[in-house]
A and B are shown apart, each in its own frame.
Chain A
Amino acid sequence: MAVGGSFDTFPKLLLRNAAQFRNRPAFRHKDLGVWQTWTWSQVAEIVRAYAAGLQRSGLQPGDTIAIVGSNRPNLYWTVMAAQTLRAIPVPVYSDAVADELAYVLAHADVRFVAAQDQEQVDKVLSVSDRVPHLQKIVYDEPRGLRDYDHSRLIAIQDVIENGRAALAANATLGGQIDEIIRQGEGSDISIILYTSGTTGASKGVMLSARGCINAVTDTVKFDRLTENDVALAYLPLAWVGDHYLNYAQGIAAGFCMACPESGETVEQDLREIGPTFYFAPPRVLENMLTRVMIRMQDAAPIKRRMFDYFLGIARRHGESILTGKPVPLSGRLLYALGRLMLYEPLKNVLGLSRVRVAYTAGEAIGPELFAFYRSIGLNLKQLYGQTEAFLYVTCQPDGEIYSDTVGPAAPNVDIRIAESGEVQFRSPGMFVGYFKDQAKTAETLTADGYVKTGDAGFFDEKTGHLKIIDRAKDVGRLADGTIFAPKYLENKLKFFPNIKEAVAFGDSREFVCAILNIDPAAVANWAERNNVAYGSYQELAGHPLVYDMVAKDVAEVNRSLAEEKVMASAQIRRFLILHKELDADDGELTRTQKVRRGFVAERYAPLITALYDGSHEADISTEVTFEDGRKGAIAARVKIRDLQTAGSTESLGKAA
């Protein structure tokens, strides 16, 4: 196993890897249909030549160099070469529009840009007048760039060749570069990662070399990653997750980073590479499962029956076998058969056969989805982190996995819950500050050096794991002081297939109410099977049997809330099913399909009044926008359903 130790910068680690792992693969990339491989010693040689070339082009220690593009070896080597020269790489999201790009390039004072291809070069050139310090653009893919003005433009391959020639011609140059590497200190800024900027302008998070290396050394140990592991580097280059999981862990552990052929081929590349370490956000896992299910519907009946049967076995025993809990012998035997017949072949199709450690993070993952992957034997775990921490704040150790927690504190991370319910932490990888923004830095840090995450959470009593419930600013309190985290409730509701959208209300109120949208596809399917006749969405949504069915789901949510002491009083007492779907065209959702809670509250104010004044139905008339832009009005009488709260008498007593 490889550990940081006295290696406090990435260039030093790279030299160590070149000496220690020599001919082990460091990078792979599929080019023209064939996987190309570079070993650690080759990479070290290329990066050295690249650094020499960049130095001759004028890149100085302390300069910033932006990197725009997808996961290509040449772009990762740009990061390494910049760090070799003690310059600071600044990766930028490749799908950033020109304005965002201009903002980051100008804010980071970049003098150099490394761009992947013509598209990115065009984008950089189009904003170059807003980037005063810009000197040179280096590019990876020459296609289409032949006729461009090359006074400021040069291919990365040419930079490397120039550097190589210079190193060969001048023996002292190599010594100079070694000297720069030797002078590199752990306190050097290793990288600046710009946050995606969902809340206001994006901020440049500065991370120190020692911080980065200490953090990854811990998690490399935690997940026992070695030079024999392989990861598919397909996450956005500018995202902390890619820089941490692939780049930093890759160098620390000496494992191989495989770069996919293109964004569209990731699925096939995954299958060909067969990574042993894998990260995917819940959305990707969900798409994967949906595709499997759709294809199974077209399979022959006998195969379908076998699929259903063994998934049943997996659901009963899979989790327990994976976590090492006792399972009856018959269960073990059936599961072993299932492995042979279904689980292993299925994982093979998905490219997950060799995965030893898999993580998911970013948003709440549905318990069913999570359980599916775990039950077929994929060691899927959750982590919680953010850019300011250099990713890990918490992560689930093997054997302690729950779908609704994000795990205990990661190694050497110190977490506390502030008075307000906000999660705060100190970690080895925590950021040095925001680039050129002392005020924001001071705002984010507490007086005693903790970082404020902006997320509200609590430690689960049963497991000791952290649960994240919502953004801290969205968390309110009921009139009796109970924490009210709308998103936490809404996510729980939305995990039921019948419920498509949910909006919870309760801040400064006596109790919690919810406005729900049914999922038209799922509920229509149910209606067909149960001979429920309806003429429109509105009619289906108001059907008493639909209300009964949804009420069961909501009661289920209440039961799960009752088990959590912190949330027990925030059970949903009344709900209604809205007569129309919430729609981005009407401004009720954002374009990324997130509920705009404030707007909904305003628009449906009469319904909310009715939810809290005890009436059993309410009239509402709203303006709707049709797809062709015409406007019309929908009037409806919406029924309201009361629910019994679940749980111990103690919490009931408190709620009453």
Chain B
Amino acid sequence: MRMPDTSELLLQVEGVSLAFGGVKALRDVSFDIRKGEIRAIIGPNGAGKTSMLNVINGFYHPNHGAITFKGRTRAQMQPYEASRGGIARTFQNVALFKGMSALDNIMAGRTLKMRRGLLWQMLRYGPALAEEIEHRHRVEEIIDFLEIEAIRKVPVARLPYGLQKRVELGRALAMEPDLLLLDEPMAGMNLEEKEDMSRFIIDVNNHYGTTIALIEHDMAVVMDLSHRVAVLDHGVKIADGTPDEVKENQGVIDAYLGVAH
């Protein structure tokens, strides 16, 4: 695997804490994501991984701490600001428009890139048409990239789970993000689907140079894919480093295997 050629920071999380009432989901977590890397966040159930992603893309607002994305620090950010700023994500439970075709779902990912207003688009005429053709071209490139030509016109509700995940990845890619957040991209997949998805993640990273942060439970996948791994347990970061370093870390082994008390 190619290592990212730059150590420039894309995103920095400093001392973030998040609480829901008495439940402390995140406690003083700091870590960073470098430009061009595949960064994994792992941890046992309830460790706060998804909360961390939600904080990054502005869905949750941390009680303490700051997030710096592309050099701009802010404590509060709305999800639409995040996506406009170049953060795209997929969800743990596939969140697609079930009744729409795979193509339309991915086209939806281009919404923020469309310059013409609603009225123009409804008319589908002149400049709006030209714009749509251009966007469609980009979407077709993604369809080609993800090898989903055969399901272009199929409503996603009819697709098997593994393909739905791929369509969701396609929609996130359609935004041409700087940072792609993947929440358990391989959950519920069989071995073959996992291997396909791993290949696509590596290809996205290589081909488009997209920075990727992913949450994943399959350790073999995480260790193979990522350049660096951060480990959360009960809302606290207990380890951070290359896959090999993390594998050796006693704290991580204890968190996963449990310790005799």
A residues with a Cβ closer than 8 A to B are: 32-34, 143-144, 261-262, 264-265, 268
Contacts and interface: CB of A to CB of B under 8 A. Distances in A.
Contacts of A264: 149-150
Binding site secondary structure of chain B: helix
A33 B150 contact: no
23 contacts: A32-B137, A32-B140, A32-B141, A32-B143, A32-B144, A33-B136, A33-B140, A33-B143, A33-B149, A33-B152, A34-B140, A143-B145, A144-B203, A261-B149, A262-B147, A262-B149, A262-B150, A264-B149, A264-B150, A265-B149, A265-B150, A268-B150, A268-B153
A448 to B, nearest CB: 51
Interface in B147-170: 147, 149-150, 152-153
A379 to B, nearest CB: 28
Binding site secondary structure of chain A: loop
Interface string B118-149: 00000000000000000011001101110101
A302 B143 CA distance: 39
B4 to A, nearest CB: 15
Nearest to B144: A32
Contacts of A32: 137, 140-141, 143-144
Interface in B43-57: none
Contacts, number: 23
Contacts of A262: 147, 149-150
Nearest to A262: B149
Interface residues of B, number: 13
Contacts of A143: 145
Interface string B224-239: 0000000000000000
A34 B112 CA distance: 24
A532 to B, nearest CB: 37
Q: Which of B141, B150, B153 has its CB near the most chain A CB atoms (within 10 A)?
A: B150
A261 B152 CA distance: 12
A143 B199 CA distance: 13
Nearest to A144: B203
A34 B144 CA distance: 12
Q: Which of B141, B143, B144, B152 has its CB near the most chain A CB atoms (within 10 A)?
A: B144
A98 B155 CA distance: 38
* 3 tightest A-B CB contacts, nearest first: A264-B150, A32-B140, A33-B140
Contacts of A34: 140
Nearest to B153: A268
A34 B136 CA distance: 11
Contacts of B147: 262
Nearest to B150: A264
A558 B83 CA distance: 73
Q: Which of A32, A34, A143, A265 has its CB near the most chain B CB atoms (within 10 A)?
A: A32
A401 B73 CA distance: 78
A117 to B, nearest CB: 11
A394 to B, nearest CB: 36
A32 B141 CA distance: 6
B129 to A, nearest CB: 15
B17 to A, nearest CB: 43
A261 B137 CA distance: 15
Contacts of B149: 33, 261-262, 264-265
A144 B137 CA distance: 20
A143 B141 CA distance: 12
A34 B149 CA distance: 11
Contacts of A268: 150, 153
Nearest to B199: A144
Contacts of B141: 32
Contacts of B152: 33
Nearest to B2: A147
Given A143-B145, A264-B149, A265-B149, 6 more contacts: A32-B137, A33-B152, A34-B140, A144-B203, A262-B149, A264-B150
Contacts of A144: 203
A143 B149 CA distance: 16
Nearest to B138: A32
Nearest to B139: A33
